[in-house]
Copies of this chain bind each other. A is one copy, B any other.
Amino acid sequence: MATVLVQEADFDIGAEIAALRAGRTDIGAIVSFTGTVRDLDGGLKAMTLEHYPGMTEAELARIATEAEARWPLQGCRIIHRFGRLLPGDQIVLVITLSAHRQAAFEAADFLMDFLKSKAPFWKKEETEGGAEWVAAKDSDTDALDRWP
């Protein structure tokens, strides 16, 4: 039931949620998570996302299937962009739909934790000083321990 998209184009949060909800009356709760390019100190010029075509889609589908096995979801969508993005641009969208709010919240939280440490994407930041690959955070791997 989950659908996964890996694309260069931007996405429309409202339209994506509307498409998942269309004509349905059995859904009680919809959670969306959107990740954006953050520039805390004003020094970021751009962020380029490299990915592993084929494996990225497969890995996101595996993560979504795992979420559907753990929670009673009525819908699930993951969109992740690649390519060159600017500060403020949207990077990733996760939407979960369920009859119950706790299931929708936990599944979206879980999906982001797994996506962060399993989906084959690599960020390169461009600043005045040049371009550098972003180092992975231990906290992202540690976050997986929240979901035994």
Interface residues of A (CB under 8 A from B): 12-15, 17, 21, 23-40, 44, 87-88, 99, 101, 104-105, 108-109, 112
Contact = CB atoms under 8 A, between A and B. Distances in A.
Instruction: Determine how many copies of this chain the complex contains.
Output: 2
5 contacts: A24-B88, A30-B34, A31-B32, A38-B99, A105-B108
Majority-rule SS of A interface residues: mixed
A38 B99 CA distance: 7
A60 to B, nearest CB: 17
Contacts of A28: 35-36, 38
Contacts of A17: 13-14, 34
A106 to B, nearest CB: 9
